[in-house]
Amino acid sequence: MVAIASYGGYIPIYRLGRQEMAQAWGIPGVPGERSVASGDEDSITMAIAAGFECLAGIDPASIDGVYFASTTPPYTEKQCASVVAGALDLRKDIFTADFTDSIRSATVAMRAAYDAIESGSAKSVLVVAADNRPAEPETMWEQLLGDGAAAFLLSKEGPATVRGFQSVTSEVIGPWRRSEDRYVRAFEPKLETQYGYMASMVAAAKALAEKEGLGPKDISKGVFSAGDPRAHAVLGRQLGLEMPQLQDSGFLLLGNTGTPQVLMMLAAALDASKAGDKLLVANYGDGADAFLVEVNDAFPTVPGKKPLQTYLMTKRMLPNYNAYVSFRKLMERDRFVPKSSPVTYWRDSKMELALYGARCRKCGTVQYPLPRVCVECGTKDELDEIKLPRKGTVFTFTLDHLVGGEYLSTPVPRIVIELEGGGRIFLQMTDCDPKEVSIGMPVEFTLRRLHEGAEFHNYYWKCQPVRGG
């Protein structure tokens, strides 16, 4: 048996109304809004955020593998799953792999994790999926797409079982993006929907239902990825499902999040599920994958773990389209790039990614970065490495206007944080209104992309106001 042991999701805090985008270009607007990854976020940082939610209350040493799925990996030649594993502080002797080049890669990774556990080569595998797909300005794609992430832990035991994988392949061209393309492309949407999406999804879902002996009334929720609400509803009718049986795709509030969409929908469905529910999951992309999730027991409540609904309801609206342009770096300009060293990044990865500090054996003072000499009592080489918490409160702060960055008019909060359990750390704050920062304010840590020094992605921790807290 293969089961879902845990799951988690992540949605960026920023949203942009589609009417704002339409007005910027003088084109028709689609109802609703879309999620927008911040300028210091990418598919790796979002996947890590979802991974932390999924692994809340779970010993990271129990994980045997990490599969990263995305069509927008920050690296073309370098494994992204290894960065995720490092930030989540997983063991070194695990298997990591990237799945990319199709928005179906999330369920391809789920199938690979399922096969690994079923074969006995792994006891538990973490699947993380994230996307922030680029859309050409002045097109409807800008309004349709959205950003987000999801993570699922498959294991031998868990409250929900997974079975019955069925797949079909299809060579319908669309949507697509070549290696030299910056933006997602498509041809005639109606043809793509009818001969690509609808044909593949119906074939995979019906094959699964027949294999498992399921009729439409046996299905509690149909969890189907979809590029738009109309295709989603038509697919449900073709499979004999009523509207209440269809899991909301989140299109009006988030947009089409691409690779993680179906797993984000599955996370939302599991949040509202009860024992005995049967969830038919189907995902499209150059064909389709379908599998069945049967809920046996309620998932346990884990202190501090945020449901997807918390991320959905805690948001900040971008004031205008120009803010989106800045996040996406759509305007060419000379940018200040700090110097970086791959050697230093490698040497300090345990401290910078996994967030390890030290505690003095003599006086007990918690310190970061890792020192050789205790700053409190002066003892040398008498410090033990410890895993630092990812929460604390603002001890003191400054609001800096950086000449070399894009914050000439908007100040950057730089925070000294009092950590839970003792110790202090100095971090930059993100996803906040600088005017709202105050001493004693609770904050939580989030891994973000700092800059592109030395032509590689420099990831490090920042803090943010507690989402939903």
- Which of 106-110, 229-233, 343-347, 371-375 has the lowest average pLDDT? 343-347
Per-residue pLDDT at 468: 87
Range of the domain at 445: 390-469
CATH number, domain containing residue 440: 2.40.50
The string of pLDDT tens digits covering residues 30-75 is 999 999 999 999 999 999 999 999 999 999 999 999 999 999 999 9
The string of pLDDT tens digits covering residues 276-296 is 999 999 999 999 999 999 999
Let me know whether 42 and 151 are in one domain: yes
Let me know whether 281 and 418 are in one domain: no
Per-residue pLDDT at 407: 56
Let me know whether 324 and 410 are in one domain: no
Q: Looking at per-residue confidence, does 335 or 60 come out higher? A: 60
Q: What's the pLDDT band for 192 if we cut at 50, 70, 90?
A: confident
Q: Looking at per-residue confidence, does 454 or 211 come out higher? A: 211
pTM above the 0.85 mark? yes
Let me know whether 151 and 270 are in one domain: yes
Let me know whether 256 and 396 are in one domain: no
Distance CA 108, CA 316 (A): 33
In terms of DSSP bridges, do strands 278-284 and 316-317 run parallel, antiparallel, or are they unpaired?
A: unpaired
- Short-list 47, 54, 465, CA closest to 257: 47
Is residue 11, in this structure, part of any structural domain at all? yes
Is residue 228, in this structure, part of any structural domain at all? yes
Per-residue pLDDT at 87: 97
Is residue 322, in this structure, part of any structural domain at all? yes
CATH number, domain containing residue 124: 3.40.47.10
Let me know whether 316 and 410 are in one domain: no
Is residue 335, in this structure, part of any structural domain at all? no
Let me know whether 176 and 28 are in one domain: yes
Let me know whether 57 and 128 are in one domain: yes
Summarize the confidence of residues 172-176 as an average pLDDT. 81
Let me know whether 288 and 396 are in one domain: no
Is residue 270, in this structure, part of any structural domain at all? yes
Per-residue pLDDT at 333: 65
Per-residue pLDDT at 336: 65
Summarize the confidence of residues 437-448 as an average pLDDT. 97
Q: What's the pLDDT band for 408 if we cut at 50, 70, 90?
A: low
The total number of structural domains in the chain stands at 2
Per-residue pLDDT at 394: 98
Beta bridge partners of 3: 155, 161
The string of pLDDT tens digits covering residues 234-274 is 999 999 999 999 999 999 999 999 999 999 999 999 999 99
Is residue 362, in this structure, part of any structural domain at all? no
Q: What's the pLDDT band for 15 if we cut at 50, 70, 90?
A: very high
- Give me the residue label for tokens 């069509």: 71
Let me know whether 319 and 415 are in one domain: no
Let me know whether 416 and 296 are in one domain: no
Around Cβ 344, how many Cβ atoms within 10 Å? 12
Summarize the confidence of residues 90-113 as an average pLDDT. 97
Distance CA 65, CA 113 (A): 8
> What is the percent of the chain with per-residue pLDDT over 90, rounded to a whole number?
79
Q: Looking at per-residue confidence, does 337 or 354 come out higher? A: 354
- Which of 240-244, 263-267, 336-340, 393-397 has the lowest average pLDDT? 336-340
Let me know whether 317 and 395 are in one domain: no
Is residue 427, in this structure, part of any structural domain at all? yes
Is residue 279, in this structure, part of any structural domain at all? yes
